[in-house]
Amino acid sequence: MYIPLFNTDKHLKKNTVIKIQQNPIISVVPAAVSLGVAISARRLRFISLSTTISNQNTKLYPHSLLAHHYFKISRLNFISIALHFQKNWLCGSCFHQKHFLSLSRFLSSAMAADSSVMFNGNGNGSINPMPNLQRTYQVVVAATKDMGIGKDGKLPWRLPTDLKFFKEITTTTSESGKKNAIVMGRKTWESIPLQFRPLPGRLNVVLTRSGSFDAKAAENVVICGSISSALELLAASPYCTSIEKIFVIGGGEIFRDALNAPECEAIHITEIHTSFECDTFMPPIDFTTFRPWYSSFPKVENNIRYSFTTYVRVRSSVAESLNQSTVSPLDNKPASKKFEVQNFSFLPKMIFERHEEYMYLNLVQEIISQGTSKGDRTGTGTLSKFGCQMRFNLRRGFPLLTTKRVFWRGVVEELLWFISGSTNAKVLQEKGIHIWDDNASREFLDSIGLSEREEGDLGPVYGFQWRHFGARYTNMHNDYAGQGVDQLLDVINKVKHNPDDRRIILSAWNPADLKLMALPPCHMSAQFYVANGELSCQMNQRSADMGLGVPFNIASYALLTCMIAHICELVPGDFIHVLGDAHVYQTHVRPLQEQLHNLPKPFPTLKINSKKKDIDSFVATDFKLIDYDPHQKIEMKMAV
């Protein structure tokens, strides 16, 4: 028989009295009960119920308990109750001890007889094993490329900026009155200089099995035998309400158990790019389970090159990760498998807001709220800001926006169309790409004085200027091989053979040809830069349609940079996007406001066919976009 007993609300009302007697009834006054205790003559089990007991009426429930107990429960949350019973803990700060002691002994003995405990929330009385009542945590660590983290019990490097970052991320809380906990092994504790321990402003949790450990009496220090017991303790009162976040900070033995464990929701790693000799190591990060959220641009301090990177858990286990890593199909339909984690607001605010998509979102918000109202060629009307910049890191992820679905197949096919030198919009139309249809229509060409131009012929636009700059344009069918300057090949040759050249430039802006173009280039030029084995690109865009064009442009030039880096055996570095007239069309304000309500997700990863080394040999299937899990498509109509 099942008897409702405890409340899953945050706290029971103080002085709630629960009476269990031999008579087959139970009186509960007053409580809203959603958690129950299953008690038979031989067993006690926690089960999930949905029974509500009103304040006015006491309901009676049959039972077969051959005992008689009165007890009083102070303000105590559900997790603490369950842990005290499961672990046989007695805590005077949580319970009125004189009322609780006899019941605790009774419950402990009952649970020892049958430790099958569950919380399934279905109210059907089924019994499942009780899950571990533990909190999640985040790892903070600095490591070399081969995951070295220490030498002779010390850090092999001196990076004051890293220490500042460590202090900031582990001490900052979003709620005043709360603090964070840092969990460490005994060796890590002892590596902290005596005058600095315990680390101030945080609860220091030290893991040790040594009975002679001498920090037990220190203020703000808690000793636990394992990370599991530490997480259980921090899930119980008073820590469940006073500790905001838990950070595991070392050392090697702790990381072996904790780094890729299911309870680890994020890893904040200072990646040391300079080589150091180490004797202590941590395991590698499981990149099928964790995805990059943010990575700083490389920094140099004391001749040490390093960067800050945060990885977030997107799947619950390695096995599920292997099954669920998704390659986005080129038909742009949603992949069948999604991230198991969809909201990443568990991250510290300082990290959450460093997602690079916020550069775009914040600029959109600023233009909508503070932009200058202007007219435009299309007559639609815009809100505008002049002179903006966004900077994306291509080393860890690919900047395809996630707050709405971006037409990835369109990005790839259009860029390959540019590279081919084509100016024929029908080539894209035949592949189901219609982004140039309006500007190539008969009506539009006639409206700008190009009535002699064949429908679909865009004139000497991007691809023509990239591959045949200076050649005389006739029509989209002519063969221009060997004519004009092949700027794209010139860029590749300079990157390969003269990487320090400051004239590695690709320009689509040709004043002599502007009158022949259906649409003068919006993204006018790109300059490339080689340093530290990395290729970076800065693209200048005169006119930036924030709703439709810019998400596409970011992805297109990031892809071009990755392609050239791949051909030249370099690593993609930075993509810097410089915007002249950055504007939001009046017709796009509402859909963009909808997009602003969506929270970013981790950027996907781009894989390029390793066998392709010629810029003209690529086809769309040579590019694999891994783990792109955006929000839904948001419709916006193009202003023509």
Q: Where do the CATH 3.40.430.10 domains begin and end in the chain? A: 137-324
Tell me the pLDDT tens digit for each residue of 464-503.
999 999 999 999 999 999 999 999 999 999 999 999 999 9
Which residues touch 244 (CB under 8 Å, ≥6 apart)?
173, 174, 175, 178, 179, 180
Which residues touch 270 (CB under 8 Å, ≥6 apart)?
141, 142, 143, 159, 162, 165, 306, 307, 308, 309
Q: Under CATH, what is the fold of the domain 355-472+484-626?
A: Thymidylate Synthase; Chain A (3.30.572)
Using omega within 30 degrees of 0 as the cis cutoff, is the peptide bond preceding 348 cis?
no
Tell me the pLDDT tens digit for each residue of 259-314.
999 999 999 999 999 999 999 999 999 999 999 999 999 999 999 999 999 999 99
Q: Report the pLDDT value the prediction gives residue 338, as an integer from 0 to 100.
A: 82
Give the torsion sign (CA, 252, 253, 257, 258). negative
Q: Report the pLDDT value the prediction gives residue 324, as an integer from 0 to 100.
A: 52
Q: Where do the CATH 3.30.572.10 domains begin and end in the chain? A: 355-472+484-626
Q: Report the pLDDT value the prediction gives residue 330, as an integer from 0 to 100.
A: 58
Does 562 participate in catalysis according to the annotation?
no
Q: Return mean pLDDT, the chain.
A: 82
Tell me the pLDDT tens digit for each residue of 507-536.
999 999 999 999 999 999 999 999 999 999
CB atoms within 10 A of CB 219: 6
Tell me the pLDDT tens digit for each residue of 51-100.
333 333 333 333 333 233 333 333 344 445 545 444 434 343 343 444 44
Closest CA to 461 of 425, 504, 413: 425
Reduce the DSSP state of residue 268 to 3 states and report it: strand
Q: Report the pLDDT value the prediction gives residue 128, as an integer from 0 to 100.
A: 46
Give the N- to C-terminal CA distance of the chain in Å, as an integer: 72
Q: What is the mean pLDDT of residues 539-560?
A: 98
- Determine the Cα–Cα distance for residues 264 and 260; give it in Å rounded to an integer: 6
- Choose the catalytic residue: 94, 522, 537, 562: 522
- Determine the Cα–Cα distance for residues 598 and 405; give it in Å rounded to an integer: 11
Would you list the DSSP string of 536-563? EEEEEEEEEETTTHHHHHHHHHHHHHHH
- Determine the Cα–Cα distance for residues 44 and 410; give it in Å rounded to an integer: 61
Q: Is 501 in contact with 484 (CB distance < 8 Å)?
A: no
Residue entry with tokens 């301090």: 301
Instruction: Choose the weakest-confidence range: 328-332, 461-465, 515-519, 602-606.
Output: 328-332
Which residues touch 211 (CB under 8 Å, ≥6 apart)?
none
CATH 3.40.640.10 corresponds to the domain 137-324: no
